[in-house]
Chains A and B, each alone.
Chain A
């Protein structure tokens, strides 16, 4: 019975996922200074290693390329389920991470297949050692990444009318068009301000009830509204992996009864590699901007 469960075919699923959990657990234990940051190695090196380990167990199974890809995808699904259980990751987050996992598990599986076909143990040990070195260096390095996204909308209304709706706006009733909003990602629905002055507290409410607490740090009427995010919800979904640090609306009177509204957001990422996650962060921030700015445009253009 035990032999059947731990057959080579099953070990290709059990062992790589088990090793991945152990490595991530050890990393989390020894690198608590990283403040919950998920690093490049966890999304690239570990999945690649998982693929190689699977190939080791499946090396004598005579798998076709199609079957190797499909089994690697199953491995990826198992890893995603385990992330849900052990890392308490949410659906949206796992949706975002899955292309990265599939890519590197499949790449690792085919690299492993080539490695074990040649049966050059020295080369194989060198590759594994190299991966471990990269992993250790990456795990013990400090990770810090901040970026900014800017978007522009032209509104057919005078600047003073736009300004009122920039500081605070009524509830957005139309559902978000962005595909991640449609599959359940929270989107901004309302903004309230305790007053129209420097230092006033603002609240940005999201569709699932999350509230971002903000404080106005620059208040130049009809020109510049800048606010720092003082508190934001900690949620297993994407919110735990990105901090929005500051938001800004700049208004420019175009002189023809229209206003150019520029929305800027500064954010900090806690997930790496940034060449992958920053694409998502920019896209999400941009769609948050556009949802709010389109609403401001609609409110301002209403006669």
Chain B
């Protein structure tokens, strides 16, 4: 259902607030169908916010966005789909490990997608976000030596 909406109804995102509403429905559906996912998302947020200079907010396409200062580390949609921007090299390495997928829409980029379902997935998601955090830190050090 999520992928159907993203693929065929994405033009609706021009309506102010539409993505927030969609994410609320996703959240209500997750509460009914797989409530543990909401706890995993909370735990991921808590984990990431424990790192220096991180913050969270609403993602422009709905869901929770995690940032290092103003740079996005990744975002989690309320159905547990985590999207993270990485380098293409790192993405290829992770794809070989077989747990992550190409991003659900941005296939030919460094973005990856990962579905959080279990407690183990939650821990892996934090590891992936840590990779994104480390990349952001390195980029920051490169630009601010």
Interface size class for chain A?
Answer: 10 to 19
Identify which of B55-63, B103-111, B127-135 touches chain A.
B55-63
B interface: dominant SS: helix
Q: Which of A89-112 contact B (CB under 8 A)?
A: 102-104, 106-107, 110-111
Chain B contacts for A70, CB-based, 8 A: 31
Chain A contacts for B25, CB-based, 8 A: 103
- Whether the Cβ atoms of B58 and A114 lie closer than 8 Å is yes
- Whether the Cβ atoms of B27 and A65 lie closer than 8 Å is yes
- Whether the Cβ atoms of B57 and A107 lie closer than 8 Å is no
Residue in A closest to B57 when the chains form the complex, CB atoms: A114
A72 to chain B: closest CB distance in Å?
Answer: 9
- Whether the Cβ atoms of A66 and B35 lie closer than 8 Å is yes
User: Quick one: given A103-B21, A106-B27, are A66 and B39 in contact (CB under 8 Å)?
Assistant: yes
- Render B21-58 as a binary contact track against A, CB cut-off 8 A, 1 for contact: 10111011001000100110110000000000001111
- Render A202-239 as a binary contact track against B, CB cut-off 8 A, 1 for contact: 00000000000000000000000000000000000000
Instruction: Tell me the complex Cα distance, A237–B21, Å.
Output: 27
> In the complex, which of the residues B27, B55, B56, B58 contacts A69, with contact meaning CB atoms closer than 8 Å?
B27
Task: Please tell me if B94 contacts chain A, counting CB pairs below 8 Å.
Answer: no
Task: Please tell me if B20 contacts chain A, counting CB pairs below 8 Å.
Answer: yes
Chain B contacts for A104, CB-based, 8 A: 21
Task: Please tell me if A173 contacts chain B, counting CB pairs below 8 Å.
Answer: no
Interface size on B, residues (CB 8 A): 18
Q: Which of A64-100 contact B (CB under 8 A)?
A: 64-66, 69-70
Chain A contacts for B39, CB-based, 8 A: 64-66
Task: Please tell me if A303 contacts chain B, counting CB pairs below 8 Å.
Answer: no
Task: Please tell me if A171 contacts chain B, counting CB pairs below 8 Å.
Answer: no
Chain B contacts for A118, CB-based, 8 A: 55, 57
Instruction: Tell me the complex Cα distance, A104–B17, Å.
Output: 10
- Render A148-191 as a binary contact track against B, CB cut-off 8 A, 1 for contact: 00000000000000000000000000000000000000000000
Instruction: Tell me the complex Cα distance, A107–B22, Å.
Output: 9
Task: Please tell me if A144 contacts chain B, counting CB pairs below 8 Å.
Answer: no
Instruction: Tell me the complex Cα distance, A64–B39, Å.
Output: 7
- Whether the Cβ atoms of A110 and B38 lie closer than 8 Å is no
Residue in A closest to B49 when the chains form the complex, CB atoms: A117
Chain B contacts for A64, CB-based, 8 A: 38-39, 42
- Whether the Cβ atoms of A66 and B24 lie closer than 8 Å is no
- Whether the Cβ atoms of A65 and B55 lie closer than 8 Å is no
| Nearest 8 pairs of A and B residues by beta carbon | A107-B24, A65-B38, A114-B58, A106-B24, A66-B38, A107-B20, A114-B57, A64-B42
